[in-house]
Structures are given as C-alpha cells and as structure tokens.
Structure 1
C-alpha cells in the first residue's frame, strides 16, 4: 500500500505562487508530477498501529543492504537506476552522497539509540531515489521508498542537502509502522511533529550538540541565498523561521491558545505541529543530557509503547510521554509535564475539537483548493461556468460526468496533498491517492492559472 509523505507545507507553496510568478511554471510542473506519481502508487491508508511496533523485537532476517540509492535522472519513473548501496564509496554526485549519508545516519540513530532495526524493526532495506523530475520542489515517503527533488533553483536547493529532511521522511515510515497516527487534525500534527523531533535528534547527534547549543531549525540550508529564511520551521520558537516577501511570514503557532482551525492541509497539520514541537524543545532543555538520549527516548517510548490510539490528540500524547518518562531510568516526568503545560496542553485535558467540514456552496462555478505537501501550503482557484472563461465548457462536461458517490475516501496520509472541490452545489474532499482522472483534470484546469 502506498502512503506518500511529502515535505513542503501547502501554505508555503501558495504564498510562493502568489509572490514569485516568474517561477510559477516550475511549481505547476512539480504539482503535476505529484498528481501523476501519487495517483499511480496505490490507495492504502494509515489507519492504526502497524506490525513491528515493539522496540527491538523484529524477528525477520534482513536479506539485503541497509539502504540503496537510485537516481531518477530527471525522470518521473521510480525507483530509477541504482547508483550506490550501503558499503559503496562516494560517487561524487552531491544528491546521491547526501542521501546516503542522511539515511545511514538516520538508521544508525534508531538502531544504536533505540534498538530499532530499520523503519519496520525487521531490517528492511531503505530505498531512496534522488534527482526526481525537473525542478521538483519536494521530498516524501510513499510507503515503499524515499524520494527527493533537486529544488527549483530559485527558492529551494536540493532536498537532500539538510540531513534532517532525510530523517524527517524516514521517521514518517517509523510512525506508520508503530502508532500509525492518522494524518488529520491533532493526530496529524503529532505525526508531523514526531518527524521533526527525530530530525532534530539526528542533527544534534551528528553535530554533538546539547539542547542548549542546538539551533532547533528544521530544513536549515534548504533555501537558496537571497531568501530571508533560517529554515522551514523553528522548534524552539515556532512562527519565527522565516519572514520573506516570497515566502510570507512563518505562520506556525507556539501555544494551544493559537491553534489554527482550518480545513486546509488536513486540519493544519504542518501549522499546528509547532505546538508539540515546542513542547519537545522545552522538555529536552529541562531534562538535560542529549536530546536523542533523554527527551528523544521519552518520545520514542511513547510512540512505540502501544498506548497511543491512531487518532490521539495533544493531551493524549502528552499523557503518554509523561507515562514514558515515569518508566524510564534516569528521566524525571516533572519536566515533561511542565513542557506541555508551557504550550497550553494538560495531559488529562482535551484539545480543541477538529473543525467541522465547510458546508456545500451553491452556484454555477467550480472551486478547487489544494493543500498539504512538505511545505504545508494551500493553492486555490475558481472558474465561473456561466462566464466566457475558455475552461468553462470542458469543466461543465467534466462536472456532469463526475459521480462523487463513487469517489474513494482513503484516510489522509502524511505530507500528501488533499483536494477540496466545489462542483456547482456539491462539495467533496478527496485525498490525492483517490483522485479520479476526471477530478485530476478538473484540478489541472482550475489551478492552472493560480500556480
């Protein structure tokens, strides 16, 4: 089953499309490739805990190398050609060698610190593909492999360049095989946050930094010179990672009182992840030692202990981390509970309810909103079917042929796109993996001039 997790949040893509029209064609190409890839790779959904959830208890014997890196060579066919495997020397290709270094270091973190053998705890070979597409501005885990683009040459550099991007995507695979956090609302924000947590742990481990010394940035180095951005997210101070004319201002909240109620991006999973991200930072500083050995072990124990439901909210996850700290030698639960309190989360309390779906809107027009992706940004467009827009005729025909009752309804998946359609007086939200050919065409037509 395919479970694609992409790196860029939709709100960032939307702002870039509006503020950097000179690169809109590149973004349109990337989004079109996301359509083609994800709809071609299955319709599985994360719905609950996976096999191998226990720590260090996998029993199957690994039969292949720890990891293999492929090159797609600028094409969109996966996995591409094998260029390097575990044990091979560097190739001189920056993306290939960065991917190799990042995935090897991520696997070492999970095995050497937490006793986990690969993402499935059974020693599965990690398949990686680089040089995917042309000017592709994303990275994702699709349920079978990691895929990385080379960036657009205008705003984003190679997605293999920051080592924490590799760790973030591999951790989505770990979460899929353990707690199976549903990618919607608070459980989805936790899914994103857990990936950022172990991305930070990896970077700090490689740099030999303490929590007080670390910069706590996710994706530092991902932006090209001239872009006013320290990184994509700041776990210590959510909402401060960037403030740039092309990107806008970092919109992440740092406290539960500022929780963003939205139907975009699966309920704002890339936005609201700032709240548990800051809780982890505060816990790591308070617990002392290294982030990966102290706070990271608490979070890993909570993730893999079997106590989390797939739709757990912030309060439930906070309770699991406090309970994990109580069970672990050398860790005090008090600082963990206080860290959550400082971001407004009480382990025994309940977080805000997920926003209700927007009601259908009547009218002779077609509206499409696309959200998700690693950057968590939203793109929207509308076409009046009664006007003289050249797209109206084809859209009227498509709308007449679409039966929304037959559209799939898979669960949202990490870092993958979600489409909200208003087709006249009918409204439907469709995960990318469930798009029909007609709905894909509607999205292409409506968003064409808005990318």
Structure 2
C-alpha cells in the first residue's frame, strides 16, 4: 500500500496556485506519479534479518524511479558524503530505537525487518512514501519543499504505516484511514521526541517541521496540538484540518479525507499526553501502542471504536480508576468522539417512583389552562 506524507489535495492546491510554470509542472508530475503508485498492487514484503536487531540499508535512486537503486550505506558503516543518505540512515535508526526501547518491538514487523530506504527518488519529487516494503524519499521541488530526509518525524510517520500494516492493518479509507494516518503522526512525533529527549511539554507536536523552504508561511505540514494552524500561505492555502468532530470533513477526496480528519485523533493523543505529563512515549504511548497491536481492532474501526479501545487498554495497563483512564476519556470527549458523562445524581440518590409521580402531577397542574371548559382562550394577536 502506497502512503505518502504530502496529501494529494496539497499538491493539487500548489499546482493551481504557483506562478512558475516549471514548478507547476513538477507538482503535476508528482500528482500523476503518486496516482500511478496508488493504483499498483502493494509491494512485496521487505526482507527480514535472520538475527534480528537494527539493520539498515540506504540506496540511491540517482534521480530515477527504479527501486531500490544503488546501495550506498549499510548497517554499521561510516557516514558517507551524501547528507540525504546519512539522514535516512539516522531517521530509520531513530524510529527503530524508539519502538525497541519504548515498546519492545524489533523493527516494523516485530521480527527484525531490514529497514530499507531509497534517497534521490526522481527529479524534483515533492514527497516521501512507504510502499509496503521500504521508505522512499524525494529531494523536494526546491521552492516549497526541501529534502524529505531531514525530519525524523516524517521518517517515523512513514515507517509506522508499516507497523500498522503488520498489526491492525486499518483500511485506508474514511475514519479507519484517518486513524491510520493519525497513528503514523503519533509515533512519528514520538520517534522525534525520544531521539531529542523531549518531554510532552517540551515537544513541538509538529509533523514535517523543517520541510518548508524559506518564504513559506507555515511551520509544518500538521500540528497535533492545534490542528488547522500549521500553515497559512498564499500558495499552500490554509491548513484545513479540523480539531473536533464539529468540523469533521465529509468528502470523497483523499480516500475520504484521511489526511484531514486525522487531526481529530491527533489532538486526542496530544491532550492525553499533556494531561499525564512527563514523556509522551511512556504512558500515553503505551496506551496507543497496546491498542494498535492488541488484535482487537477490526480493519474498518472508526473513531469511536478506537477511542473505546484506548479506554480498555488504559484500564488493562493502569487500572479502572487510574488517572490514565480519566485522561483518555476526557480527551476523546473534548474532541467530540465520546459523549460527555451524565452528571452524578444528587446525594439523596435516585427519586422514588412516588416522588416522580408527585412531581409530574404538580407539573401538569401548573401547565393546565385556566380557561373554563368550552370557552376559547384569549389569543395574542402577535402569534
């Protein structure tokens, strides 16, 4: 399954809005190329390492599209002259380390899959993607987007599509597709936070910070903390992500808005991490990871199903009366996925049946018209 970090609606917006005809042509080619990749059958599974553990291979496509390309760096070898190759090597290593250290997972498949990356894919290609077997990085168009290897969270995002592929395998459409995207944002952000030693409070909660070239009015592709605020640029338009179900986007584009509506579960995770404090890859991360890998989610799980599964995971991990369960519940209520809990009854308990009957009779007496039977009541001419 083809998963790219730049959604098609953003490339379409750029193709319409940029003035330079050469740049418009680049975005058009990127769109056409991505459409072809989406229509292809999923790539074959990657190669597993017999001994397990961290194993990386970085290839150079040399601005072509044949994969994987020429091998330029393998696990344990010194850095090379190519900065993109070194960044791909470091980013895949940071993602593997986060999954291993925080959740005890050995690579994407949990069984030592070799992390394969290809850099310098095509010419002016403004995207990065997971094709079901490996990571692929473009160099960007040089005007809006720079190289895609520089952001650990982008690498972590794309590799997490692989983790989802090997676990819950959430269908890439509608709410299950938005969850697929959100889970990649969650663990992409956690990979960056773990690599930088950041707490939930210190983290920027941005996906793709550093991708934009100077002059672009924006800080990243998405903000998990404040969906809808990542960019506002004449060429890019305004970040369209909603942050609650009140803004949920009904659309047939982008596989049912998977890159749009992912802002809602993204914010829910941020709210849980912020409420619990400390490191987001500890309690909050464990809840989301357990939910993803528990085997209880169907491929078509919607937001409510996933929210309830995170509640169940929090109860199993920390206890029914824990602050973790409370934080998860409040977060999903805040974004409008779960309904607010009804208020507790007064200390006197539930009213007895006789009390209720008395109250109802009193109410009927108050509402009963005072006009004598058979006589029409006076009516206000105002209606």
* Counterparts of 1:104 and 1:126, CA distance in 2: 8
Shift of 1:92: 2.3
Is the alpha carbon distance of 1:300 and 1:347 closer, same or farther for their aligned partners in structure 2, counting shifts above 3 Å?
Answer: farther
* Counterparts of 1:93 and 1:312, CA distance in 2: 42
* Counterparts of 2:34 and 2:259, CA distance in 1: 18
Query: Mind listing any 5+ residue stretches in structure 1 that lack a counterpart?
Result: 51-57, 350-451
The residue aligned with 1:135 is 124
* Counterparts of 2:170 and 2:255, CA distance in 1: 13
The yes-or-no answer on 1:277 pairing with 2:266 is: yes
More strand by share: 1
The yes-or-no answer on 1:18 pairing with 2:7 is: no
The residue aligned with 1:29 is 29
The residue aligned with 1:336 is 328
3-state SS of the aligned residue for 2:331? Answer: helix
Shift of 1:348: 10
The residue aligned with 2:4 is 6
Most deviating of 62-71 and 162-171: 62-71
3-state SS of the aligned residue for 2:135? Answer: strand
Counterpart contact for 1:317–1:347, Cα < 8 Å: no
Q: Would you say how many aligned residue pairs link Structure 1 and Structure 2?
A: 334
Counterpart contact for 2:126–2:138, Cα < 8 Å: yes
* Counterparts of 1:157 and 1:306, CA distance in 2: 38
* Counterparts of 2:323 and 2:128, CA distance in 1: 35
Is the alpha carbon distance of 1:177 and 1:117 closer, same or farther for their aligned partners in structure 2, counting shifts above 3 Å?
Answer: same
Counterpart contact for 1:139–1:159, Cα < 8 Å: yes
Most deviating of 8-17 and 272-281: 8-17
* Counterparts of 1:278 and 1:239, CA distance in 2: 11
The residue aligned with 2:291 is 302
Shift of 1:32: 3.5
The residue aligned with 1:268 is 257
Shift of 1:246: 0.6
Is the alpha carbon distance of 1:65 and 1:312 closer, same or farther for their aligned partners in structure 2, counting shifts above 3 Å?
Answer: closer
> Which of 64, 69, 89 is 1:100 aligned to?
89
Shift of 1:204: 1.2
The residue aligned with 1:316 is 305
Is the alpha carbon distance of 1:302 and 1:215 closer, same or farther for their aligned partners in structure 2, counting shifts above 3 Å?
Answer: same
> Aligned ranges for residues 155-174 of structure 1 at < 5 Å?
155-174=144-163
Shift of 1:18: 1.3
> Which of 152, 171, 180 is 1:182 aligned to?
171
Counterpart contact for 1:72–1:78, Cα < 8 Å: yes
Shift of 1:33: 3.1
* Counterparts of 1:64 and 1:299, CA distance in 2: 23
Counterpart contact for 1:337–1:347, Cα < 8 Å: no
The yes-or-no answer on 1:229 pairing with 2:228 is: no
* Counterparts of 2:108 and 2:339, CA distance in 1: 28
3-state SS of the aligned residue for 1:82? Answer: strand
More helix by share: 2
Query: Mind listing any 5+ residue stretches in structure 2 that lack a counterpart?
Result: 342-383
3-state SS of the aligned residue for 1:295? Answer: helix
* Counterparts of 2:245 and 2:260, CA distance in 1: 12
Is the alpha carbon distance of 1:281 and 1:215 closer, same or farther for their aligned partners in structure 2, counting shifts above 3 Å?
Answer: same
> Which of 56, 59, 69 is 1:80 aligned to?
69
The residue aligned with 1:154 is 143
Higher relative contact order (CA 8 A, sep 6+): 1
* Counterparts of 2:323 and 2:58, CA distance in 1: 38
Tell me which structure has the larger Cα radius of gyration.
2
Deviations 1:123-159 (A, max 9, x none): 0111110100000011111111110100001100001
Shift of 1:211: 1.1
> Aligned ranges for residues 33-432 of structure 1 at < 5 Å?
33-37=33-37, 39=39, 42-43=41-42, 61-62=50-51, 66-329=55-318, 332-346=324-338
* Counterparts of 1:242 and 1:36, CA distance in 2: 28
* Counterparts of 2:54 and 2:170, CA distance in 1: 28
3-state SS of the aligned residue for 1:127? Answer: strand
3-state SS of the aligned residue for 2:63? Answer: coil
Taking structure 2 as the reference length, what is the TM-score of the superposition?
Answer: 0.83
Deviations 1:219-259 (A, max 9, x none): 00000000001100000000000000010000000001110
Deviations 1:417-438 (A, max 9, x none): xxxxxxxxxxxxxxxxxxxxxx
* Counterparts of 1:347 and 1:91, CA distance in 2: 54
The residue aligned with 2:347 is none
